[in-house]
Amino acid sequence: MALASCSAISLLGLNGTVVTVETDISANLPGFVLVGLPDASLSEATSRVRAACANSGWNFPSRKVTVNLSPAAVPKSGSAFDLAIAVSVLLAMGVIDRCPNNAVFIGELGLNGQVRPVRGVLPAVLAARDAGLNFVFVPLENLGEAAVLGGVQVYGVGSLKQLVDHLNGSAVLPPSLAQPADSHGVSDTQDLDLCQVRGQALAVEALVVAAAGGHHLAMVGSPGSGKTMLAERLPGILPRLTSEQALEVAAVESLLGAGSRSAALNVAPRFETPHHTASVTAIVGGGSGMPRPGAVSKAHHGVLFLDEALEFQAPVLEALREPLESGRVMIHRSAGAALFPARFQLVLAANPCACGYSGSLTRACSCSFASRRRYLGKLSGPIFDRIDIRLRIQAVRVAEARGVGNELQTSAVAQVRVLAAREAAAARLAPYGVTLNAQLPAQHLRGRLHPGPQATRLLDRALSAGKTSMRGYDRCLRLAWSIADLAGASVPTAEHVAQAALLRGADSLIDEVLEA
């Protein structure tokens, strides 16, 4: 009887658990059994491992081979266990002489013994490092995304035969000492500049305020008024991601199979634009079996842009409530609960009615009053109330389109302003555990950070008259702080609060459009 073991990683969301892969070869009826709560896709590993070993030159034993994945209570899924199962079996067979105790094996096997790429390599390597396992063997095609972590040695494996030769000492795989490489900022929006926007001075300034404070933004206007054009330029004025933030985003992308092939972190904020036919699962995450992240997690530390927002299904929009407030989303499935990050800036763009021309200065609307109310009612009050900035966008006139009388602001200039405002906010908010004005808890807004009764007289009157809610009051104060940070002021003034109230608009989308 022969017994051997090695280690693998089981992922549930972005959280990884070290799994011990134990192999026992006994003198019973020939067979290959996999136990330890494997799912259907993992159970198929027995056929892949048997064929990979045979085609790599080793005769599979005509005995009872039992592979146990421990702990058995942890759900296990996917083909990433193939490499660890093969190593454990070959250790028990005596083909591999020795294996480091602090090594982890991740990868799928082809029938010819080739090691193929898998999803979730980056969070798996992160889990291995946190567990004190210093040697990680991954598919060669996943080496780039795995090599951004420090503290571990990562080896890229092309085939099972190559790995066995390395472990036996007859060949050497060059280690990639995992150290964070020089970050880069690849972005699909890098050629989009604010100076290309004409005649929307208020909207451009609102975009800068949104970027400075991390505020959500809604734009309502007729087709062709520039809503999408403005939204696409928001990532270009946001600060680059820190190494920690870029690593969080890269882990989500790795889980979706979109990890980077290079050993450099992409520090550009992401810009996600799902189609209006997207389902709740596509937006929030989920799926059958192991939960997977959705668009809200792909936009983590970036921008989630919902164009034609009122065409999205109501359950999709309502599902945004939790991530908008908490910055994360918990997906519960039979296999377990997975927590995904979802700290994004939401940008909504919508037409004011079904025909799109309600309130337009250039074209008459053909919709009835009841039709407009019904159309605007698709966005519920609780969702609209979570949007800090609400803009009514009008079509650009000819003189404005030519740049006459319009001050142009480049994205580079705007980004400098945003960076300065965020630095001021971070220094002020450090005692409260947040870095952005939009994240500041309400109790601090009404306490030490209240700008004073003289500055908030306008808001106090609106609250007393029932024209705004307490949540709207607090959000106006957060906006006022962002405006003050951009202006270099230490405390918001009455003028800053008035500007915030203008950007905030009405507390109802119907009132916002019909009163415009």
CATH code, 236: 3.40.50.300
pLDDT score recorded for residue 192: 85
Residue 251 domain-assigned (yes or no): yes
Same domain, residue pair 97 and 205 = no
- Whether 250 is in a domain gets the answer yes
Of 281-290, 302-311, 477-486, the poorest mean pLDDT is in 281-290
What mean pLDDT comes out for the span 325-335? 86
The three-state (H, E, C) secondary structure of 333-356, written as one string: ECCEEEEEECCCEEEEEECCCCCC
Residue 184 within any structural domain of the chain:
no
For residues 123 and 381, the model is more confident at: 123
pLDDT classification of 403: cutoffs 50, 70, 90: low
How far apart are the C-alpha atoms of 339 and 331, rounded to whole Å? Answer: 6
Same domain, 131 and 228: no
Please report the beta strands in 78-175, taking only residues with DSSP state E, as ranges in sequence order.
103-105, 108-109, 115-116, 135-139, 153-157
Count of domains forming the chain: 2
Please tell me whether residues 198 and 148 are part of one structural domain.
Answer: no
The per-residue pLDDT for range 71-130, each reduced to its tens digit, is 998 989 889 999 999 999 999 999 999 899 899 999 999 999 999 999 999 999 999 999
Q: Containing domain of residue 272, as a range?
A: 194-514
Instruction: Give residue 86's pLDDT.
Output: 97
Residue 440 lies in a domain: yes
Question: Would the pLDDT of 509 be above 80?
Answer: no
Is the pLDDT higher at 315 or at 2?
315
Q: For strand 135-139 and strand 328-333, is the pairing parallel, antiparallel, or unpaired?
A: unpaired
* CA 277 – CA 288 distance, rounded (Å): 20
Mean pLDDT of 209-228: 93
- Indicate the residue among 150, 177, 204 that finishes a domain: 177
Mean pLDDT along residues 246-261: 87
* The pLDDT of residue 315 is above 50: yes
Q: How far apart are CA 296 and CA 301, in angstroms?
A: 10
> How far is residue 296's CA from residue 317's CA, in Å, rounded to a whole number?
12
pLDDT of residue 2: 83
Against a cut of 0.85, is the pTM above it?
yes
Taking 70 as the threshold, does the pLDDT of residue 349 lie above it? Answer: yes
Integer Rg of the chain from CA: 28
Q: 119-156, pLDDT tens digit by residue?
A: 999 999 999 999 999 999 999 999 988 888 878 899 99
User: Do 171 and 198 sit in the same domain of this protein?
Assistant: no
Q: Report pLDDT for 398.
A: 55
Summarised one tens digit per residue, pLDDT across range 406-465 is 455 789 999 999 999 999 999 999 999 999 999 998 888 888 888 988 988 988 888 888
Per-residue pLDDT at 487: 95
Residues 152 and 266 in one domain: no
Residue 185 lies in a domain: no
Average pLDDT, the chain: 88
Over residues 460-506, the pLDDT tens digits come to: 888 888 777 788 888 899 999 999 999 999 999 999 999 999 999 87
